[in-house]
Structure 1
């Protein structure tokens, strides 16, 4: 089976952060951008986040739109996506919302290492399907397994380590990059990516697709596997 088409989706501040260090959750997006992400989710088969995002935000990972859920059911799909998370440490709470809410597509999937599987033991077995990856190509093997499970389109929503891993391994097909009019300025706050050896290095220009203005948020789309340039004067959709 082919690997799924991978879309990275992220919202960042003007200075490149995806969150701050205040305990209360920071919402970088606005209502129109949230709806755009919801539409993107509806076109995918699975959604992936890292264990740190599970611990920090405890998201439900559902489709907000009742109409989109209904449209998926009418098309013979589950109302919500297959949920996927990755943990190397095995530090996951079986009471997390992603394991119990909106799981029409079946048990959420957890990918981990041998060490992580040993730490988890059987504590997630009742609420998730846990797979320990032994291959050195961790992320490629993960995508192969998702492909075998029938996942054709995967949306990846972070956090920092996950986005860095997919981009540095050259596994992201598309990047949806929403820029919010905020300045975080906190040195310990998480950024979009960490330092890494990205394909092509610092001089490689990713292919720009389009830009959409959603009130005070600007959404940029790129194709990370391509370097074909777009002519100057590309229109901006408002």
Structure 2
């Protein structure tokens, strides 16, 4: 069994925020970047977001391009990637758009959360309990058993932090938007944590690209950036 390749994808402001404090999602990306993200989704076996992102943003999390969806089907893949979320508490409403668009859905949760979410999402998603707590390595093992070759993780901060702190991210795609948010309590890409190698560890920078006014950086954390 092989774990999926894990790509963390995030858009940040120049000062490192992924959103502002308003109730509506703050648009950091531009049309070119959104299209590139759509292509990466189409190349993925599964897309994962944390439960807080599902509740806050109420995303559909789809491959929007009909041409890309058709190419997936022609290649023998489902029209849409598997949509995955992670919740400790199981507090997810069945009315959220996440459950009512696209293909199959999967929820990873705890034993306690599973009791709640299994009943609420009956017929909408498969629910898998990972025990008393959520172990992201076990989650990847399960996705590998399901045949998922590439996992695209789109947030939020807690979820990205969990993958990075556990040393499970193979690739990081950071789209840097030319703006400043400047709100101390606005959400960031990662939260404080103990990361493998600490602050002295440098990631390998594989690529820098301009998509309109957005700079896209591509890092491989498991390779050393030192020369």
TM-score w.r.t. the length of structure 1 is: 0.92
1:129 aligns with 126
State the SS of the aligned residue for 2:222: coil
Pick closer, same or farther for the CA change 1:121–1:39 going to 2, 3 Å. closer
2:146 aligns with 149
String of CA shifts for 1:25-83, please: whole Å, max 9, x gaps. 21100000001111111111100000011001111111111110111111111111100
CA contact (8 A) 1:135 1:141 kept: no
Provide the C-alpha distance between the structure 2 equivalents of 1:77 and 1:52, rounded to a whole number of angstroms: 29
Superposed counterparts of 1:34-113, under 5 Å: 34-103=34-103, 106=104, 108-113=105-110
Pick closer, same or farther for the CA change 1:166–1:37 going to 2, 3 Å. same
Provide the C-alpha distance between the structure 2 equivalents of 1:44 and 1:52, rounded to a whole number of angstroms: 22
CA contact (8 A) 2:207 2:217 kept: yes
Deviating more after overlay: 181-190 vs 141-150: 181-190
State the SS of the aligned residue for 2:223: coil
String of CA shifts for 1:146-181, please: whole Å, max 9, x gaps. 000110100000000000000010000000000001
Provide the C-alpha distance between the structure 2 equivalents of 1:220 and 1:65, rounded to a whole number of angstroms: 23
CA contact (8 A) 1:208 1:221 kept: yes
Deviating more after overlay: 217-226 vs 90-99: 90-99
Provide the C-alpha distance between the structure 2 equivalents of 1:228 and 1:13, rounded to a whole number of angstroms: 23
1:12 aligns with 12
TM superposition outliers: structure 1 runs of 4+ over 6 Å: none
Query: How far 1:120 moved relative to its partner?
Result: 2.5
Provide the C-alpha distance between the structure 1 equivalents of 2:189 and 2:25, rounded to a whole number of angstroms: 16
1:207 aligns with 204
CA contact (8 A) 1:178 1:218 kept: yes
CA contact (8 A) 2:5 2:149 kept: yes
Deviating more after overlay: 158-167 vs 181-190: 181-190
CA contact (8 A) 2:109 2:134 kept: no
Matched length: 227
CA contact (8 A) 1:110 1:131 kept: yes
Provide the C-alpha distance between the structure 2 equivalents of 1:100 and 1:220, rounded to a whole number of angstroms: 33
2:174 aligns with 177
Segments of 5+ residues of structure 2 without an aligned counterpart are none
String of CA shifts for 1:183-224, please: whole Å, max 9, x gaps. 111111110000111110011100000100111100000001
Query: How far 1:114 moved relative to its partner?
Result: 1.2
In structure 2, which of residues 162, 172, 179 is the aligned counterpart of residue 165 of structure 1? 162
String of CA shifts for 1:115-156, please: whole Å, max 9, x gaps. 211332511122010011017671011000000011010000
